[in-house]
Structure 1
């Protein structure tokens, strides 16, 4: 069973706890329908005392950090005004370090990143926080690589989301990574997909597929992004890169984790998804626009990636966008 901890902190924004809880429980419902093991989501406090949130709601923790539980995912909420006030950092920091060392993924919302910095877990790592606290954070933690122009950062199982909307985007990504894209997209549909921004479009990731050390592959990725609408085969890519097909396939896989043609299809499907949301083009026209000549093949690829047909995806999004 996957154990997930939502940390209850005084004066936290309620939505930075409740929204992750609702999304993770929606994923659990989908998994139960599929007769798969569902995660256990617990509200974990620093003590057993009830916690007053910034919105005036009172939360009662299920467990405390004193328990011997280990967690697969821990989410730290954002707080108004002084991020560290009335927090026993000396008690929380060792617990966070021990959980991370045991394999936990750590996520922060907004100023929750202060707590990871206090624990020494962000040293020489990229991180972000709520925009209002950029200067204070940079001054307080000069050893942290503050990323100001991305809403999400990722480095070795540590994620920072700069806002409430960003934690929703991040959770869709994490749910997809752990339980598959079908579950992720069903959860996403439940939480207004028309306003969600895909994780890949606004996350700074150490090791992401467009941040690597192979200049030839990076140049080819840029070329693919500009020419994805054209018919492209592996020999075309080899000619463009100046590499043999064998060397290209090996280096592309090593740099991005995907084969060249799988990467191309990923780009095409992302572009198609945005067109389904934002345009009135027919599905066949969208397939042609993104470089997939056969609409049936396009539909099969889309369904395999997103768990539903392009027509159903558009209908679900447009229902929420335009229904009076």
Structure 2
């Protein structure tokens, strides 16, 4: 129920001023009868699995526990519908343990994939052809994407919005949902201490300051001093609380800022590099090619109307399939 709720919150709710048209979310199921969800809930799917072939993107939420341990098979109808959608070139994404449905359909064979960390060992054992990674929040492998459990599914949903409509729209939606605007997929899904023990122990003030000052040179030693920690302690706290190093976090924030500037301004490439803290135009191009697979100019061309004031860009239709 949680993963379906995430999909509905991101793709099924239209927020004024965010983007128009928004996604058309359709809940699909093996049968129209109500299915048991969490205790006290029942779930009705108004659409059948034939809807998946007409969707642009198919989301597969977590499957029942029995489909994870193998005491119950993923419904054959769902497997057939997923294969048909994949053969038609549809984008298919699993949330949490929906990866077991994709694996049962053979869609993860030879691909990197993830799921909730508590079940990745089972996924690897039951489907040895899958390259399972239990250390990441989500994996984007082109037209097949998988995510970790719980909030990792939300990160993947926001990543899909970012791919479709740009960084600015995804960041605005994240603010509406009161969640971090961008957590990179490579961030660890299981961290030692995600919640600070006391307010004084929190990294959030210094990270918020850094996010507002990305145009500056931000040596890790200076950030550590601002946080009142030694560089070694700051590095360790970042790893334990966020799951990545300070430099990895800074790079992700700067790439995100550069994407926003390319979408919403006509600044020259060298100015985008300066304002995002990525340096020269050549360095910006190198980092975009390495991490995004496109040049800054190509990225700007792909989102000519990401800003609502410039007019809407057609959005794909999302179909949400459940096991």
Larger Rg: 1
Q: Distance in 1 between matches of 2:18 and 2:307?
A: 16
The 5 Å alignment of 1:123-134 reads 123-134=109-120
2:77 maps to 1:91: yes
Q: Distance in 1 between matches of 2:121 and 2:111?
A: 17
Q: Distance in 1 between matches of 2:34 and 2:278?
A: 60
Q: CA deviation at 1:124?
A: 0.5
TM-score (norm 1): 0.57
Aligned length: 222
2:181 maps to 1:202: no
The 5 Å alignment of 1:219-238 reads 232-233=279-280
Q: Distance in 2 between matches of 1:231 and 1:20?
A: 33
2:25 maps to 1:41: yes
2:3 maps to 1:16: yes
**RMSD across aligned positions (CA):** 3.9
Deviation beyond 4 Å, 4+ runs, structure 1 = 84-88, 228-232, 251-256, 258-263, 304-307
Q: CA deviation at 1:80?
A: 5.0
Name the residue aligned to 2:108: 122
TM-score (norm 2): 0.57
Q: Distance in 2 between matches of 1:258 and 1:143?
A: 30
Q: Is the 8 A contact 2:90 2:143 kept in 1?
A: yes
Q: Distance in 1 between matches of 2:18 and 2:178?
A: 23
Between 1:87-96 and 1:33-42, the stretch displaced more is: 33-42
Q: CA deviation at 1:261?
A: 11
Gapped runs of 5+ residues in structure 2? 190-246, 252-273, 300-304, 309-323
Q: Is the 8 A contact 2:18 2:173 kept in 1?
A: no
Q: Distance in 2 between matches of 1:43 and 1:182?
A: 27
Secondary structure at the counterpart of residue 79 of structure 2: helix
- Per-residue CA distance 1:186-240 (angstroms, 9 max, x = gap): 211121224x652355289xxxxxxxxxxxxxxxx99x96xx99894458x6xxx
Q: Distance in 2 between matches of 1:159 and 1:53?
A: 24
Which structure's residues are more often helix, by fraction? 1
